[in-house]
Structure 1
Amino acid sequence: MERSLETQVDQAVEAWLRWVPRWEPATHRGRVAPCRRCLGSPILAAAGIGANAPHGVQHGLSTRIKTIVDHAVAEYTAQNLPMLQRELDQQAARNRARSYRPAEDLDPEFDGLPLDPEPVPGAPFLFTIAGLADDSAAELPALPPLTEEAKIALRQEVALADEYANMVGREICNMLLGHRIVIQAAISQHVEPQIEALLAELTESLDSPFDPDIP
């Protein structure tokens, strides 16, 4: 039996709550470019996760919720949007034919993040994981072209899918309001003490840059 949307949200929050105690600042990699999935996310706002929370903590929940929305939209598309479904099936078959798919089957905390670290100026990479993935995709034949009429119809179906995704997202935001207290409590218990400890250590190192016992 298909799980209800509310049950899926409950389970996603529970999974995130089980993961949060394992979060450590050392596992969070600073990024130059903001994460489009998390920046200004209404999902995170509804869950009570502020912008000052570490990105890894934000991303772990936003990705789990995005999976729920994607699943709901996929079901709606399969039932109501045949042209868009056909295009998605063709793209999925093309993706399965790639020899190298490093972005698949990642844990929610890493899904959607860059595959490679930020480049260091003056120190170029010999190769990148993203570059290898792009090379693998370039070896595949292109998808068949669409007529102008098909493009118009496809854009209409994409708009309907976007509208449905927004509707599901709003429903999930309302559901997350009921989880705000436990989510914020988890951050207070497991995340904030680690941040405070880091700040205290940084303050101590700035106040005493040299060991006074060394002449």
Structure 2
Amino acid sequence: MQQAQQAMMLQLATCTDSKTFNNILAKAEQTLTIRQSIENAPLIAKQGEKKDVIKEIIRVIEFFLTVTGKEMETFQIIIMSGDLYEKFKNDTLEDIILMFKMARMGDFGKVYKFDTFIVMDWANSYLERKSEEREKLLRSARPQPKEESKGKYFHELSPELQKKFERFRNPNVQKFLTPKITDYLTEQKHRDQISKALENDTPNP
């Protein structure tokens, strides 16, 4: 899928016939995603000469006008393409294509008119969505912290294990116990010592 998408984008860059360009673009935008743009697409500023990239942007704008039935003067299209180049030069041509597709589908609200001010609003909304998608990708790429194993209190152990741990009262073995079990055994030892002392202090009848 990725190689096919890249091949279509290369065809767009080299296509000279407007009708063929529109057909290729119509196919390309069906499979484009914001994630693909983030992970695979080259930045506009690195796609070649500015004038050549602007020509591609002009044809993307003209495609939108053809599909939606909107109209715009040629000089206005040229101005808009230059503005979009500056807006997206650290993003991708795919982003511009996706932005116009989302606008056409009503993702930014109903299209009552078409001018540079409206398109720049769409650009801001689109770039916010792209930023959110990039943050999701970063979060999913971060390693998840491993949960530390926690020791159990002595009374939480099974009777069989409690019997086995009785032999751990030997101080030389206590270093292998968890802190909770060590604390419990220490407290139990103190209680045993107190009980024994009380028994010794009790006078015989």
Q: Structure 2-normalised TM-score?
A: 0.22
Q: Which has the larger radius of gyration?
A: 2
Higher helix share: 2
- Whose relative contact order is higher, 1 or 2, with alpha carbons under 8 Å and at least 6 apart? 1
